[in-house]
Amino acid sequence: MTQEKHRFESGFPKIGIRPTIDGRRKGVRESLEEQTMNMAKSVAALIGEHLRYPNGEPVECVIADSCIGGVAEAAACAEKFSRERVGVSITVTPCWCYGTETMDMDPSIPKAVWGFNGTERPGAVYLAAVLSGYAQKGLPAFGIYGEEVQDSGDTSIPEDVKGKLLGFAKAGLVVAYMRGKSYLSMGSVSMGIAGSIVNDAFFQEYLGMRTEYVDMSEFVRRFEEQIYDGEEFARALAWVKENCPEGADNNPAQIQTSREQKDKDWETVVKMTMIARDLMVGNPRLAELGFGEEAMGHNAIVSGFQGQRQWTDHFPNGDFMETLLNSSFDWNGIRAPYTVATENDSLNGVAMLFGNLLTNTAQIFADVRTYWSPDSVERVTGHKLEGHAAGGILHLINSGSATLDGTGEQQLDGKPALKPHWEISEQEADACLKATSWRPASVEYFRGGGYSSDYLTRGGMPMTMSRINLVKGIGPVLQIAEGYSVDLPEGVHDVLDKRTDPTWPTTWFAPILTGSGAFRSVYEVMDQWGANHGSISYGHIGADLITLASMLRIPVNMHNVAEEKLFRPRAWGLFGTSNAESADYRACDNFGPLYK
């Protein structure tokens, strides 16, 4: 079994489709059976066509064996869904049904109802009635209702309904897939960073996840006892020598390490990469080598590595390990990215996980380092910012652990992009590698040496920066900033980049401004950002993040997503409609964490 097949061996949650119907026989139900079941089939076909699991396979749907006209058929459907590992449910109907008798009552499964907008039978009446029942029972559900009236024989799904069905399904699958998985903390708190304090209550109650812990000394044990695949190590090291060019050493000559030590560091960081992966998901090869316990892994879909300082004061840093795991390719070829948070910032790791599972693309981990105003840029470089950057830019830069996909060397419609791994060509992976040099780590920061990736993200890409923060008395809150990566003239970039550590990867980011709240200015975005780190995803995915957050009962404290794109459970409107941000806080507080 290959490593990738082993990684996804446990499978994925499915989406259950529940066709509900008016239970009255002798004419009413019989006249609606075909139309109702066809609605379910059309939704299943839509999802199977447009949505993919992290391994690239189409999302599977399970349809109830019969239309659901009452509580007995609802129970039979629930039993089937339990057997079939359904983690998300969508109820569809063109007609009136008996609301509380036909509804999905599982409190941990995200649920939506599509009520057909037609005049022959009152599907909208059922939609309103069942959503009322869900609110009354404390089970928030999403309501989907097309804007235009359809004829009863119309089997198509309107575009606005498609958007809501797919948006709900994507977010619901994230919720279902996270449940029962683990966050693996490799080490403990890095340099006093609050996000490194892994809060098990947050993971358990909001995400349905375990928290697993290993000391960084486990890496040393596996080095010394050779608990890794030696054949893979030899292949990996040869690949690294061929594909990961070493950049210039910026350290003063008197403290630069020898060539011999640099070569040993390469061997160490490659082993670290293999070991961290094996700790996360296990490796069947280890069992063949006599390490059955280590072969199991920790069932982790996200992890974090402390590194600083107890590790990095003595051993090579974790930048190479984090970069390669966060990328969509390595010595084994193109594959789904892992998610590893630098400095064990578990809260930023969760934001990375959200972005990865929503888009199936690699995520950029970065420090939100500096706000450069137009005046400051012009004063320092003489250059006047224009276009997306006209209001100023944020310098997103970290110590060299950002995904190689973040170079922007992949192409979508001829433009730079980050893509799901199954769409990435060998040429694109090679271009990402060629756009990156590996600089010997700054000994000022990393006394134990190591290597940091150095690249510049290509401009013009739509991107979304997000972050989870914990607030005592409230719990988790999510912040979102949609914007664009920005190209600067080479000389301008060099001047700005050299004012900090120039050996690290840079993304110039310009948030979209709305003229109000935290998005009055780029300065205000920087000033309101809740921590030193952010997760950057390709595409404008703010609306999907907001939908996901509402399922998990995590309020959103700042975003620049257009109001008409917001999609939350219908009950959120019962907490107020004139200020959606405030209503979101009240609804999340009222319903509480999904798994509490």
Cα(237)–Cα(572) distance, integer angstroms: 53
Q: Are 148 and 158 in contact (CB under 8 A)?
A: yes
Q: Which amino acid is at 395?
A: H
Q: Look-up: residue for tokens 């982790």? A: 300
Regarding beta strands 333-334 and 329-330, do their DSSP bridges make them parallel or antiparallel, or are they unpaired?
A: antiparallel
From CA 51, how far away is CA 90, in angstroms rounded?
Answer: 15
Radius of gyration over every alpha carbon of the chain, rounded to an integer in angstroms: 25
Instruction: Please check whether residue 330 is in contact with residue 236, taking contact to mean a CB–CB distance below 8 angstroms.
Output: yes
The closest alpha carbon to 571, from 165, 171, 112, 16, belongs to: 112
Sheet bearing 142-144, strands edge to edge: 61-63, 14-19, 86-93, 111-115, 142-144
Q: Which residue has the tokens 């450069």?
A: 372
- The answer to whether residues 161 and 94 touch, using CB atoms and an 8 Å cutoff, is no
Is 367 labelled a binding residue? Answer: yes
DSSP string over 85-98: TEEEEEEEESS---
Q: Cα(382)–Cα(367) distance, rounded to whole angstroms?
A: 26
Q: Is 446 helix (H, G, I), strand (E, B) or coil?
A: coil
Torsion of Cα atoms, 566 then 579 then 482 then 544, to 10°:
-30
Q: Residue 296's closest CA among 220, 184, 392?
A: 184
500 exposure class (CB count in 10 Å sphere: 0-12, 13-18, 19+) = middle
C-alpha torsion sign, points 569, 591, 302, 176: negative
Distance CA 306, CA 320 (A): 14
The residues that are catalytic are 343, 367
- Helices and strands (H and E) in the chain: how many: 19, 22
Three-state DSSP string of 105-123: CCCCCCEEEEECCCCCCCH
Q: Is the dihedral of CA 80, 84, 88, 91 positive or negative?
A: negative
Single out the residue of 267, 271, 290, 293 nearest to residue 282, CA to CA: 293
Nearest-angstrom CA–CA distance, 264 and 249: 16
Determine the Cα–Cα distance for residues 315 and 269; give it in Å rounded to an integer.
9
Asked whether residue 533 is marked as a ligand-binding residue, the answer is yes
> Max CA-CA distance within the chain?
92
535 CB neighbour count, 10 Å cutoff: 26
277: cis peptide before it, omega within 30°? Answer: no
Q: Which residues are annotated as a binding site for Mn(2+)?
A: 343, 367, 533
Q: Which residues are annotated as a binding site?
A: 343, 367, 533
